[in-house]
Amino acid sequence: MKALRGLRGKLALVFTVVFGVVAGLAALAQYRQVGQVLNQGDKLRLRARAATLLARVEVEPQLVVPLPGLGEKMRVVLETPGQQPQEIFHSPGFFATTNPANHWRTVELTEPVPGSSPPRRVRLWLAHPAAPLQADLSRVRRGLLVALVGSLALAAGLAWVVGGWALRPLRRISAQASRIQSRPGDERLPEPDTGDEVQELARTLNQMLDRLREGAQLQDNFLAAAAHELRTPLAVMQAGLEVTGRAPDLPAHLQPMLAVQLDELRRLSRLVDDFLLVSRLQANSLPLTLHPVPLDEIALSVADRLLPRFREAGRPLQLTIAEDLPDYTVQADADKLTTVLGNLLENALRHAVPNTEVRLTLDREPDTGWLFAEVGNHISQPLGDLSRLTAAYYQANVLSEGAGLGLWLSNRIAELHGAPLLLQEHNQYFTARLRLPPQTRQ
């Protein structure tokens, strides 16, 4: 059914229906013509047979009437002017009318009696079964029906093949568009040299892609430039507030205000860093410095840094590290892994149900042997399509803090390390897993 809903199926269906209607009308006209020919031939044979029998009828000097053949019925009447017709022969079961029954075909002939005075005539009715003619017509109908069905099947097959050949450029364009959608880059859609609407469509789509890439490049350039220019003044402001907050002569009533401003400034600095990462990821220019790093130590460091925020929010943070694994060393970029784990924990901190714990688990996957760090938390409502969570600027709760970049950044960085994040939800419990291959020993 899905194939029939496509353009190829619709073209094949329309072509088959049109061909079927035309072929059906042609078969009907041919059947009528063949039926007329068969009926005319049968009538001529019956008339010739009746003429032969009538020629053999003799009235004078003695009455001679030939007998009808096998399967034939005949009636012979002698007509004299001024007298009632005299029946001289009547086959059993032959009716008095000229049409004995629907399953019999009848012909009537009249011939004068030579040398009779007054002039007399012999009238003869001859009938034979209509079953042979009906059988011939039935065979013609079956033959035409079989030919029609075979023609429809052949037409549908040819239409499907020709439709596939005609739509092959569109399929290539669609496949390339899907690849571009999943992994945006500088690729273009194939432009078939057909000189038709398909080529014009591909050319128009490529022009649209060029304009979109130019707009995206301008946006990324602006984002990178703005983030780069903001980092220095923000760092200066943050350092100034930290120095001011440590001044011994600072009034006590100003310390809470400075602490709040410093927290907001740090959050703004992290957001600017995220924007800079976005621009680099969009331009595929984010460098990775790969070297052996301990995943468990990075997880402990990130958890220690965020633990005060979890306590302040009333959400316990539980860290579980499988003790049966002696080594958690992976080949990765330590700074980027810190960013990923920090984003996952901050995302859980924002969206976890109040007064429920957030779990950070480190272990090894039994089927692949890869090491993983998984963050899990309870959520207030089902998330539905989890693929939307890794889209840039998407927020499950539009009223929550952040720009909707955490999971997108984390997923892109995880892809650069070998595998995307594994997102799962079961009974309103959400988990995000960072998977990394273990460090191979030399």
Give the closest residue to 89 by CA, choosing from 103, 100, 78.
78
Cα dihedral value 293, 294, 295, 298, nearest 10: -90
Measure CA 61 to chain center.
Answer: 92
pLDDT of residue 219: 67
Average pLDDT, the chain: 80
Q: Where in the chain is the domain with CATH 3.30.565.10?
A: 291-436
Instruction: List, by residue range, all CATH 1.10.287.130 domains of the chain.
Output: 197-282
The amino acid at 168: R
User: Of 71-80, 213-222, 271-280, where does the model show the most confidence?
Assistant: 71-80
Q: pLDDT value at position 372?
A: 93
* Mean pLDDT, residues 184-192 taken together: 70
Reduce the DSSP state of residue 44 to 3 states and report it.
helix
pLDDT at 398: 38
Residue 147, φ and ψ in degrees, nearest 5: -65, -40
Tell me what the mean pLDDT of segment 8-24 comes to: 81
* Annotation: CATH topology of 197-282: Helix Hairpins (1.10.287)
With a cut of 50, say whether residue 402 has pLDDT above it. no
Residue 58 gets which letter from DSSP? B
How is domain 291-436 classified at the architecture level of CATH?
A: 2-Layer Sandwich (3.30)
**Predicted confidence (pLDDT) per residue in 47-69, tens digit:** 999 999 998 888 877 888 898 88
Partners of 205 in beta bridges: none
Half-sphere exposure for 354 (CA within 13 Å, toward CB):
2
18 token code pair: 């049109």
CA distance 181 to 419: 18
Bridge partners (DSSP) of residue 329 are 294
Q: In 91-167, where do the E strands start and end?
A: 104-112, 121-129
3-state secondary structure of 87: strand
Q: Which range, 122-131, 172-181, 228-237, has the best average confidence (pLDDT)?
A: 122-131
**Between the CA atoms of 357, 358, 360 and 364, what dihedral angle is there, to the nearest 10 degrees?**
80
**pLDDT grade for 41, boundaries at 50, 70 and 90:** very high
pLDDT (tens digit, 9 = 90+) per residue, 258-282? 777 877 777 777 777 666 666 666 6
Residue located via tokens 């030939």: 66
Res 430: pLDDT = 92
Instruction: Write the burial class of residue 304 (CB in 10 Å: 0-12 exposed, 13-18 middle, 19+ buried).
Output: exposed
Q: How many helices (H) and strands (E) does the chain have?
A: 8, 11
Q: What is the pLDDT of residue 362?
A: 93
Report the residue count for the chain: 442
- pLDDT, position 163: 76
